[in-house]
Amino acid sequence: MNTGSDPTKGTRTIHVHVVDVVEQKAGGYTVVLQALSDEDITSEETWRVALPGDFRGATRVDRLWHLYYGQDPGCSPGVSLDVTVPNE
């Protein structure tokens, strides 16, 4: 929570679109996301803090993020989500 006038503290909301959810043959799931706003998430650690569940890691490819989960993350392709992330 932002408790002062320092803009580097607190959180912000990023609007993302779920492009695809793929079940991997070796186990786990890959969720492909694209940020809908001009702001973007710049590191895997931001996802780690922002997302619940069995998050395993992330890779950025152009403007798409590939998020890796050990179990079904419970989201579907085509939906838009608001993700609260810490200010970087």
Identify the pLDDT of residue 84: 84
Whole-structure pTM value: 0.78
Residue 57 in any domain: the answer is: yes
Residue 47 in any domain: the answer is: yes
Identify the pLDDT of residue 79: 92
pLDDT average, residue stretch 43-55: 78
Q: Please give the share of the chain, as a percent, with pLDDT higher than 70.
A: 84
Sign of torsion over alpha carbons 6, 45, 84, 34: positive
Residue 24 in any domain: the answer is: yes
Residue 6 in any domain: the answer is: no
Is the predicted pLDDT of residue 59 greater than 80, yes or no?
A: yes
Count of helix runs (H) and strand runs (E) in the chain: 1, 5
Identify the pLDDT of residue 81: 87
Exposed/middle/buried for residue 64 (C-beta within 10 Å: 0-12, 13-18, 19+): middle
Range of the domain at 42: 16-74
**How would residue 5 be classed by pLDDT, with cut points 50, 70 and 90?**
very low
Residue 23 in any domain: the answer is: yes
- When divided into structural domains, the chain yields a total of 1
